[in-house]
Chain A
Amino acid sequence: MTGLAAAYRRFSFLRQALLAAMMLALLVSFVADVATGPSLFPLADIWRGLFDAQSLSAAQAVILWDVRLPYAVMAVLVGAALGLAGAEMQTALNNPLASPFTLGIAAAATFGASLAIVLGLDFSGLGEHLAIPLMAFLFAAAATLLILVLSRSYGASTDTVVLFGIALLFTFEALGWLLQFIADSDALQQIVFWTMGSLARATWPKIAVVAAVFAVCFAFSLRQVWVMTALRGGEEQARSFGIAVERLRLVVLLRVSLLAAAALAFVGTIGFVGLVGPHIARLLLGEDHRFYLPGAALAGALMLSLASIASKSLIPGVVLPIGIVTALVGVPLFMALILGRRQRG
């Protein structure tokens, strides 16, 4: 190993330690999330119940396997998916304000869900309540496809992609308001609740879908860490290294859209994580995407896991929609990091 490489290894050891610390914090948060809830359920009983189903009463088994665990796992997965999607989006569009919301993907998902609610779709053959996530996913995927087709036709410069995204965002928002305007009061209430985001919609099959999408996308992301890092140094520079920047951008957008569509379809609109998760990772780990991408996924997962705990703890006996709590938990964490960094100079 060369002297310089050894010096860099020592330097990057801190980043690896920070990634490990984030993982540990996520594990602690996950356990706390499972242990938190309106019903009294000691941690020791939960631990025993995980390995010995007979040790739990029927009610406890339902609480653990159908409520607490799916909520906690879904919080981690959705947070990780949104964090990763935001990080990739910010690099691909060279814009620190980019997130899955920038391109109107979340607005499309919301419109799809609203349409299912207003039209009373049930797709009864596919199972209860599947119409809403399915429509949310279909519209998010359609929005993605539209952006990709338009970007391919008109050149995938960052400006073009962002402008198409913003146009889609406003279009779907306007259509969503139109639906809300004509919806009856029950449907309107459901739409509003959906847009607040909720982990209460988590089930194991949905978790499996989000987990599979995240695993596949993350694997492909890791294959592209060097080109993404090179792109972060400047688009013209990346082009001069022989990187096909437009193609890379389209591939990343496809990945981001899949992640966002899968995450948002099942839990509703959860903002902020996709925007701030990457910033937390950047502050802690820099922008070498070998550290930055896993860091953004971990930061997103940690933020949503903490938000899940807060959603069950802020008002005793009430589980708040997680979309409301996310920013309330995330902003102090984010501000602490920014101010801490400024004080260190």
Chain B
Amino acid sequence: MRAGLEVCGLTAGYGARQVLTDLSLPLLPPGTLAAVVGANAAGKSTLLKAIAGLRPARGQVLLDGEDLGRLGLAARLARVGYLPQQLPQGTALVVYEAIVSALRASRRDLTAADAEAAVERVFDSLALRPLALRRLDELSGGQRQMVGLAQTMVRDPKLLLLDEPTSALDLRWQLQVLETVRALTRRHQTVGLIAIHDLNLALRFCDRIVVLGNGGLLAAGDPAAAFNAETLRRAYGVEGRVESCSLGYRIVLVDRTLETTS
């Protein structure tokens, strides 16, 4: 058995339209945070949903050697935490209720005491205690994203799939959410896969990068090796460079578009 996530020959789409065809990813070991990048409609969200079992797909998804395709959806989602692109809805629920209901709705076997202990752990882990009794409709977008992350983490998943978790957030919250995710994946030895548009954040926070395009995999591996001017050209149709800033972070600079799309 190989620990971590393996994807082999995955084909997924919407009805007759295939978005991903026969996609395979190299093994992502536990504790790895990987970014899934690519142009719009490259299949980033489709890949995450297909791995989670939320979109029909053919092919194999192995988590710690277990074929997730052989599990029912509830059992699969007990192992896989999927954070959707939409923030948790602004409602009159307080944060504690939103998180405890996420756990109790999916784990009916849990006793109240076990659920409370798990909720307490996730509140501490994400430093959310000050928000526990605040209503969701009173929170900022960043705070609601942290609640969404807590709803996902409280179920103690082995695989964390985050669909554009920073797209609705300001700069400060983008950094805070990704720092938290990176810390969580390392501490819990979880595999993390993030669909993300911001290449600079992807290069800064992720250990691996997966570049999608043309219905398949364009590049995958260590960011320094897998992401360069050639990848930018093939994935996005732009001419650009990947350079290091004064703090040592790799940053993407785009010079011009190579082709116009209509």
- Chain A interfacial positions (CB closer than 8 Å to B): 1-5, 7-8, 11, 94, 226-227, 229-230, 232-234, 236-244, 282, 286-288
Contacts of B151 in A (CB 8 A): 233, 237, 241
Which residue on chain B has the smallest CB distance to residue A223? Answer: B108
Write 8 A-B pairs (CB below 8 A) sorted by A numbering. Answer: A4-B119, A7-B132, A227-B105, A234-B84, A237-B86, A241-B105, A243-B105, A286-B93
Contacts of A238 in B (CB 8 A): 105
Q: List 18 additional A-B contacts (Cβ < 8 Å) besides A7-B133, A11-B96, A234-B87.
A: A1-B113, A2-B119, A4-B119, A5-B119, A7-B132, A8-B97, A8-B132, A226-B101, A229-B98, A230-B102, A233-B93, A234-B86, A234-B88, A236-B85, A236-B86, A240-B54, A241-B102, A242-B74
List the 9 shortest-distance A-B pairs measured between CB atoms, nearest first. A236-B84, A242-B77, A230-B105, A229-B101, A5-B116, A226-B104, A240-B82, A234-B89, A242-B74
Contacts of A239 in B (CB 8 A): 54, 84
In the bound complex, do residue A237 and residue B133 qualify as a contact, i.e. CB atoms below 8 Å apart?
Answer: no
Contacts of B136 in A (CB 8 A): 233
Contacts of A5 in B (CB 8 A): 116, 119-120
In the bound complex, do residue B101 and residue A288 qualify as a contact, i.e. CB atoms below 8 Å apart?
Answer: yes
On whether A240 and B73 interact (CB within 8 A), knowing A8-B133, A232-B93, the answer reads: no
Which residue on chain A has the smallest CB distance to residue B77? Answer: A242
Smallest Cβ distance from B187 to chain A, in angstroms?
20
Give CA–CA (A5, B102) in the complex, Å. 15
- Interfacial residues of chain B within 75-94, with CB under 8 A of chain A in the complex: 76-78, 81-89, 91-94
Which of B93, B97, B133 has the most chain A CB atoms closer than 10 A to its own CB? B97
Contacts of B96 in A (CB 8 A): 4, 8, 11
Contacts of A229 in B (CB 8 A): 93, 97-98, 101, 105
The listed residue (A1, A4, A232, A236) touching B123 by CB distance below 8 A is A4
In the bound complex, do residue A233 and residue B89 qualify as a contact, i.e. CB atoms below 8 Å apart?
Answer: yes
In the bound complex, do residue B97 and residue A288 qualify as a contact, i.e. CB atoms below 8 Å apart?
Answer: yes
In the bound complex, do residue A240 and residue B98 qualify as a contact, i.e. CB atoms below 8 Å apart?
Answer: no
Contacts of A242 in B (CB 8 A): 73-74, 76-78, 106
The listed residue (B76, B102, B120) touching A237 by CB distance below 8 A is B102
Contacts of B102 in A (CB 8 A): 230, 233, 237, 241
Give CA–CA (A310, B136) in the complex, Å. 38
- Chain B interfacial positions (CB closer than 8 Å to A): 52, 54, 73-74, 76-78, 81-89, 91-94, 96-98, 101-102, 104-106, 108, 113, 116-117, 119-120, 123, 129, 132-133, 135-136, 148, 151-152, 155
On whether A232 and B91 interact (CB within 8 A), knowing A2-B116, A240-B152, A242-B77, the answer reads: yes
Give CA–CA (A242, B53) in the complex, Å. 10
Smallest Cβ distance from B155 to chain A, in angstroms?
7
Contacts of A282 in B (CB 8 A): 92
In the bound complex, do residue B148 and residue A237 qualify as a contact, i.e. CB atoms below 8 Å apart?
Answer: yes
Which residue on chain B has the smallest CB distance to residue A4? Answer: B120
The listed residue (B77, B86, B93) touching A241 by CB distance below 8 A is B77
In the bound complex, do residue B116 and residue A4 qualify as a contact, i.e. CB atoms below 8 Å apart?
Answer: yes
Which residue on chain A has the smallest CB distance to residue B148? Answer: A237
Contacts of A288 in B (CB 8 A): 93-94, 97, 101
Contacts of B78 in A (CB 8 A): 242
Which of B82, B89, B151, B155 has the most chain A CB atoms closer than 10 A to its own CB? B89
Contacts of B77 in A (CB 8 A): 240-242
Give CA–CA (A282, B54) in the complex, Å. 31
In the bound complex, do residue B116 and residue A240 qualify as a contact, i.e. CB atoms below 8 Å apart?
Answer: no
Smallest Cβ distance from B86 to chain A, in angstroms?
5
Which residue on chain A has the smallest CB distance to residue B72? Answer: A242
Which residue on chain B has the smallest CB distance to residue A3? Answer: B120
Contacts of A286 in B (CB 8 A): 92-94, 97, 135
Smallest Cβ distance from B135 to chain A, in angstroms?
7
Which residue on chain B has the smallest CB distance to residue A289? Answer: B101
Which residue on chain B has the smallest CB distance to residue A2? Answer: B120
In the bound complex, do residue B101 and residue A233 qualify as a contact, i.e. CB atoms below 8 Å apart?
Answer: yes
Which residue on chain B has the smallest CB distance to residue A240? Answer: B82
Give CA–CA (A229, B91) in the complex, Å. 10
In the bound complex, do residue A1 and residue B116 qualify as a contact, i.e. CB atoms below 8 Å apart?
Answer: yes
Which residue on chain A has the smallest CB distance to residue B96? Answer: A8
In the bound complex, do residue A287 and residue B120 qualify as a contact, i.e. CB atoms below 8 Å apart?
Answer: no
Which of A227, A229, A242 has the most chain B CB atoms closer than 10 A to its own CB? A242
Which residue on chain A has the smallest CB distance to residue B112? Answer: A5
Which residue on chain B has the smallest CB distance to residue A239? Answer: B54
In the bound complex, do residue B106 and residue A241 qualify as a contact, i.e. CB atoms below 8 Å apart?
Answer: yes
Give CA–CA (A295, B152) in the complex, Å. 29
Contacts of A241 in B (CB 8 A): 77, 102, 105-106, 151, 155
Which residue on chain B has the smallest CB distance to residue A288? Answer: B97
Which residue on chain A has the smallest CB distance to residue B129? Answer: A4
Smallest Cβ distance from B5 to chain A, in angstroms?
17
Which residue on chain A has the smallest CB distance to residue B98? Answer: A233
Smallest Cβ distance from A18 to chain B, in angstroms?
14
